[in-house]
A and B are shown apart, each in its own frame.
Chain A
Amino acid sequence: MLAKINSAGLHGLDGYPVCVQVDESNGLPRSVIVGNVSANVREALDRCTVAMKNAELPLPPKRLTINLQPADRRKDGSGFDLPILLGMLLSLGLVACSPPEDYGFFGEVGLDGEIRHVRGALSLVTALQEAGLQGAVVPEEDAAEASVVEGMDIIGVRSISDLRSLLSSEESFRSFQRGRGGQREESEPEKIPDFSDVRGQSFSVRAALIAAAGKHNLLLSGPAGSGKSMIAKRIPGILPPLSRKEDIEITKLYSIAGMLPKGRALYGKRPFRSPHHSITSTALLGGSGPGGIVPGELPLALNGVLFLDELPLFSKSSIEGLRQPMEDRFLVIQRLSGSFRYPADCLLIAAMNPCPCGHFPDRRRCHCTPSQIRSYQRGISKPILERMDLCVEVSPVSYEDARSRGRGISSERLREDVIRAREIQRERFRGLPIRCNSEMGIGEIERFCTLREKEESFMRRIFQLKQLSMRTYHKLLKTARTIADLSGEAEIGIPQLSEAVSYRSLEERLFGEEAAL
């Protein structure tokens, strides 16, 4: 008898429907898997036959042919174990009734008959739903994640015996314990360090607030020990709460990367990725690794923060690789096996020392020569610098600040401001494909950052004084827009513009003549 089971495979971030066909016929007892499968899928046959033996299910001397449709696509992963096993049981008549046609199956099978976790459950179930199915039978470990997809009937199974009792009759399929399906597990709030630990540094903290409010990329430059990393690590704590859509995007990605905490339905927090500066371009962006394509640090920072500490020490190729994805907010990786598209939408925070020894401009401690300082700063690519909306010089911590008892502004208060500003931005960009001020293009800037006459003439004077480029001018307007949103102003005024100017001058000076103070 021929059995057909619905399943799904993974391609990059998305799943695609696969039909597993198992046919039993008379002949020499030999089993084959066809349909352009990888070695990993071929192994499924061994796992399934041993699992059946250990579950005391007889494997009659029959010829079994297993086909994975569509056959023109390369299939990989251990998720096809369960549909293959089920197909074998069905075709051999070892289960009482066949499952409803609008249900899909995936899961890995162990030799002891246990059904184990697979990566990318969320993407797989989404693909099944898009293919018109009503429900899915998944490993119990993945049931919570799979049930994030609304409108799908998710059944979690733990072992072959579970599967057999599920399919013992139509009634049992209907009444089978759905487990935790449908419930969303409340994730424990992660402890993100609080901004109130930061002493002094009100200028840099303010810049961090603006960066978070408008999703402006931020470069912190300052001497060693001035608290650059401290500030960066606290930024995820002041970003607005995740929307369900954003959370699902993150969960999909982390599930495929195999980084989703066990039993967690949704990832539930904004990622904070801080790769070491020795990272290669492939590890930063993503590439092929064991088990298919592996997302890199940039895609993994999705909707969160990518923190590059010691920016000048990163290799040129890895930093230059960030240019296109930062502009387009997605990343395409091309390999022989196909091209993969990842969202790459994150807040980029970078930190750097002003010179190789890290003490400049304190000339009592820094003995770097001007040319050393220049070549160190030249290590940063100009195009990346141009994508930094805010460039801030962090001051060394003074004794008074270090010893002061007073606490800084708490993350909670900053976050309230950020949420309010984001709310204004959401209203503003309703119906547009952008979410934040930093994403505005020229057209949007002209529409939303209009200046009155007084401000216009003020900007003209600034333009001449600071010898700004047009690109910098636009960034100033975007930053000023966010500052105005933070204070709830409808129009950009001179105070907002002049504050925006104070977060800017680094870019111009960095490559110019003047470095000394």
Chain B
Amino acid sequence: MRGGFERSFSERFPIREITPLDPEFPERLRQIPDCPSCLYLRGELPSDLSPSVSIIGARDGSPYGREIAEAFAGALAGRGVSIVSGMARGIDTAGHWGALKGGGRTYAVLGCGADICYPRSNYELYERIAEQGGILSEFPAGTAPLPANFVRRNRLISGLSDAVLVIEAKERSGTSITVGHALEQGKQVFALPGRITDHLSFGCNQLIRQGAELLSCVEDVLSFLHLEREGELLLLPPKEGELSKLQRKVFSALDTKSIHIEELSRLLGLPTEKLSGILLELELLGFSESPKCAYYRRRCFQKTADRGEMEKRDGAEGPCNISKDLLGF
């Protein structure tokens, strides 16, 4: 059954094969040691002319890390930077979505065949990347997502980019393998600093100590890529002035880490049924979010207009319907 599904799938979306002999083969990959002998591709290849940045990090990244990844990817993509990542859960997913919502191009390098969506929960993302960027793999169509493949593909993620942004990483992880490749390939590494007690930031803090660039704002990356920075900051903290007194009181009690409504209620002395209303108002205003029922956190940046989403809504849902037809929904 599964084989049948995949066959019809690849007939409909042909997977292209590109070798280093083809002129369109990415120049960046030609430069790296252990250059792949063939690339399998759905969608398009990243352009050699536009700057490219990869965003990588832990699969179980925190909401804070995911928000930073999404915001940075969105801001960079909006300035014409291609975002490369591995479509894994967590930080990778947030980075891809950020780029898509920012209206830019994004590329996923997979550890399985380019016709397979792994993890499956990212199906919608997979479809959108294929049409607003490309799905790349050095493994032929139908290759299963084996752990060893992911270790290999990491060198392509760093190889395809000019700089690598490490958002959240544990002490030893797949991320450190990618960073190792990046250093070997001579790419710049940016690391997002974190609290010294956060196990998800051990990796990043260690990288900074070893000499990685400290990632504090999008402009750091833009100036490294020799891109003009505009007058205003690209990512702005929420403007508290817009809030009412009560809203501000609740907002000030929120942290970038999620807090249970019970604890908020104790801190603020407000009953939960009243608090939930104010928290929802803040969420609607883009000041906070609720990653899980009853847990709330403040957003680091003001929510920017979702360009990709708007285009999608205007363009009468192209890709979703195709995939739905295919799956027989």
| Cross-chain contact B277 with A516 (CB below 8 angstroms) | no
Q: Select the residue from B59, B258, B260, B279 with max chain A CB neighbours within 10 A.
A: B260
| A56 sits at the interface (CB 8 A) | no
Residue A461 lies at the interface, judged by CB distance under 8 Å to chain B: yes
Closest chain A CB from B96 CB (angstroms): 11
Beta-carbon contact of A201 and B90 below 8 Å: no
Which B residues lie within 8 Å of A400 (CB)?
Answer: 266
In the complex the two chains form, is B62's CB within 8 Å of A516's CB? Answer: yes
From B59, B89, B290, B292, residue with most partner A Cβ within 10 Å = B292
Q: Across the interface, do B62 and A203 meet the contact criterion of CB distance under 8 Å?
A: no
* Cα A396 to Cα B294 with chains together (Å): 12
Contact B199 A363 (CB under 8 A): yes
Q: Which of A61-69, A249-257, A275-283, A495-503 is found at the contact surface with chain B?
A: A495-503
- Chain B residue with minimal CB distance to A200? B262
Which chain B positions have C-beta within 8 A of A498?
276-277, 280-281
Contact of A501 among B62, B265, B276 (CB under 8 A): B276
Cα–Cα distance between A206 and B276 once the two chains are bound (Å): 12
The reply to whether B293 and A391 form a contact with Cβ atoms under 8 Å apart is yes
Q: Which of A221, A370, A509 contacts B90 (CB 8 A)?
A: A370
Q: Mark B265-280, 1 if CB is under 8 A from A, else 0.
A: 1100001111011011
Residues of B with C-beta under 8 A to A92:
none
Interface residue from B63, B277, B290 paired with A499 (Cβ < 8 Å)? B277
B122 to nearest A CB, angstroms?
Answer: 7
Nearest B residue (CB) for A364? B199
- The yes or no answer to A470 lying at the interface (CB within 8 A) is no
Does any Cβ of A come within 8 Å of B37's Cβ?
A: no
B89 engages A513 (CB within 8 Å): yes
**A398–B295 CB distance below 8 A:** no
Please report which residues of chain A, range 477-504, place their CB below 8 angstroms from some CB of chain B when the two chains form the complex: 483, 494-495, 498-499, 501-504
Given A498-B276, A513-B122, is A505 in contact with B262 using a C-beta cutoff of 8 Å?
A: no
In the assembled complex, the Cα of A392 lies from the Cα of B273 at a distance in Å of: 13
Q: Answer whether residue A202 sits at the interface, using C-beta atoms and an 8 A cutoff.
A: yes
CA distance A361 to B257 in the complex (A): 11
B61 in contact (CB, < 8 A): yes
The complex places the Cα of A1 from the Cα of B66 at a distance, in Å, of 91
CB–CB A202/B294 < 8 A? no
Chain B CB within 10 Å, residue with most, of A200, A395, A506: A395
Residues of A within 8 A of B294 (CB): 203, 392-395, 502
Bound CA–CA A401/B89 (angstroms): 36
Contact B121 A513 (CB under 8 A): yes
- Residues of A at the B interface (CB closer than 8 Å) are 200-204, 206, 221, 361, 363, 369-370, 391-396, 398, 400-401, 461-462, 465, 483, 494-495, 498-499, 501-506, 509, 512-517
The 9 closest A-B pairs by CB, nearest first: A502-B276, A395-B260, A393-B294, A506-B293, A498-B277, A498-B280, A395-B262, A203-B272, A517-B258
Sample of 18 A–B contacts (CB below 8 Å)? A200-B262, A202-B262, A370-B90, A393-B293, A400-B266, A494-B277, A495-B274, A499-B277, A502-B294, A505-B293, A506-B293, A509-B292, A513-B89, A513-B121, A514-B66, A514-B292, A516-B61, A516-B90
Chain B interfacial positions (CB closer than 8 Å to A): 59-63, 66, 89-90, 93, 121-122, 199, 257-258, 260-263, 265-266, 271-274, 276-277, 279-281, 283-284, 290-295
